[in-house]
Chain A
Amino acid sequence: MPPLKSAVTLAADARHTVTIVLNGAPRTGQAHPRLLLSDFLRHELGAHGTRVGCEHGVCGACTVRIDGVAQRACLTLAVQADGRRIDTVEGLSQSNEGPNQGPNEGRMTALQEAFRRHHALQCGFCTAGILMSLSDYLGRNPKPTEEELRDMLSGHLCRCTGYAGIVRAVMDVTGQTPEPGAMGEAAHV
């Protein structure tokens, strides 16, 4: 927990200095109290990798990690993030988890690579949020069952993939094969 700033009221019509540690580097910007963290990241700091899909906390596109924990940037004020560590999709490859796998793949993590191999994305608009949720979740639950994984993924809406490639990619990267018969592909056949 970072030290608290002085407990003074921040005036609505003034911009206030907000400092975060964005993907490991301190970044400072200005924010009215009502500025959403999603807008602060994208339009004040120019970190566009975090996408905005609904601004009411349902779609999950804007999910980032705040002090390591996956949360909605659209349901967080920039001033609330002051002094916090914020991790976004742009930082994933920097904190590379696995060995590089090939000539063009050096910049991506094993999870990102698995998304590519399994066609876990199409338009890509929901992808950053899903990756950020997974980067928190898999730390807590390194080998989720498909049911557990789908439960966690239900906090994200994807309109392109039907989620199949996403599930496959995570099962692959966690060293599992998708469970036959868990969904749809009925076990009786």
Chain B
Amino acid sequence: MKPASFDYLRPATVADALAALAAGGDDARVIAGGQSLMPMLNMRLVQPRLLIDLSRLEELRTLKADSGWLSVGAAVTQTELLSRPTLRDEVPLLASALPWVGHFQTRNRGTVCGSVAHADPSAEAPLCLVATGGEVVLRNVRRRRTVKAADFFLGPLTTVKAADEIVESVRFPLAAAGSGHAFREVSMRHGDFAIAACAATVDGTQASLAVGGVADRPTLRSWPLAGGALPPDLDAALNAFAWDLGGDDDQHATARYRRDLVRRIGRTVLEEALSCRR
């Protein structure tokens, strides 16, 4: 269980990295934390000709909140983000969900942007990005473009990111005053891929639920509040959402179980989010 051979580049600048990526085409891959990519390299599921290491690029080490957004650069690890003292005020959902990403040891190296780029349907970082209405900043050698999280994910391990682009940063909107957030995840063991993960946000006008692990990408649905309360037909709404998400059977859980969790845990987190509005 050893990787196939590849050239390795540790570029001095992001521009160098992008140039190498453009030249390498489909056969080049970038690596930052590598906590998803390295297992796939070791299993030879992925066999790039060139590996471009972004992990030491100071330019990508940005972590800042301004103009309503928390911007997380490509080299920022999950632990670094989780350790940010103001995170619970800025993006409370992240503060709740990030401890569910892998384990202490993998969060120490795994990056937030890497998790988004990898687009595992069960992963927490993509779910939070979708749940909060975040954005993905893509960059290639010629330009930078920003894609809304809802448009970024296309399916399992599949996104709109082109082969010559990197996820330069992801941006989470800072939590609005008066909003409430809750996160719950059901997995077989602690730290496993979610069977279903539910992230709820309730603000002054609407209640939103984002679900990971059920459909082939994290998916968000919103409902208007009814006089400051959750919609009276929430059970029916959650049922419709669960059926739209569908879900698949695997060796650990059935599609039906996943839909059950959407209906049950979905309601729980929405109620929690409503009750903890600040």
Contact = CB atoms under 8 A, between A and B. Distances in A.
B42 A36 contact: yes
Contact of B6 (A33, A57, A133): A33
Contacts of A76: 34, 38, 109
Nearest to A64: B105
Nearest to B104: A152
Interface in B100-128: 102-106, 108-109
Given A7-B16, A9-B20, A80-B53, A154 B7 contact: no
A37 to B, nearest CB: 10
A72 B51 CA distance: 19
Interface stretch (A10-18, A94-102, A103-111, A166-174): A10-18
B53 A70 contact: no
Interface residues of A, number: 40
A88 interface: no
B2 interface: yes
B239 interface: no
Contact of A9 (B4, B8, B34, B79): B8
A55 B1 contact: yes
A56 B43 contact: yes
Contacts of B10: 4-5, 7, 79-80
A69 B12 CA distance: 23
Given A4-B12, A76-B38, A133 B104 contact: yes
In this complex, the interface size class of chain B, counting residues with CB under 8 Å from chain A, is: 35 or more
B3 interface: yes
B81 to A, nearest CB: 14
A11 B7 CA distance: 5
A155 B106 contact: yes
A71 B105 contact: yes
A152 B103 CA distance: 7
A90 B21 CA distance: 39
A189 interface: no
B11 interface: yes
A50 interface: no
A137 B2 CA distance: 29
Which of B4, B9, B99, B108 gathers the greatest number of chain A CB atoms within 10 Å?
B108
B35 interface: yes
Nearest to A34: B3
A70 to B, nearest CB: 5
Nearest to A39: B2
Interface of B: 1-13, 16, 20, 34-35, 38-39, 41-43, 49-51, 53, 55-56, 58, 79, 99, 102-106, 108-109, 189-191
Q: Considering the complex of A and B, which 3 residue pairs feature the smallest CB-CB distances, nearest first? A: A155-B103, A33-B8, A7-B12
22 contacts: A7-B9, A7-B10, A10-B9, A12-B8, A33-B51, A34-B3, A34-B8, A36-B3, A55-B42, A56-B43, A60-B105, A70-B104, A72-B109, A75-B39, A75-B42, A79-B8, A79-B10, A80-B55, A152-B103, A154-B189, A155-B102, A155-B103
Interface of A: 1, 4-13, 32-34, 36, 39, 55-57, 60, 63, 66, 69-72, 74-77, 79-80, 133, 136-137, 151-152, 154-156
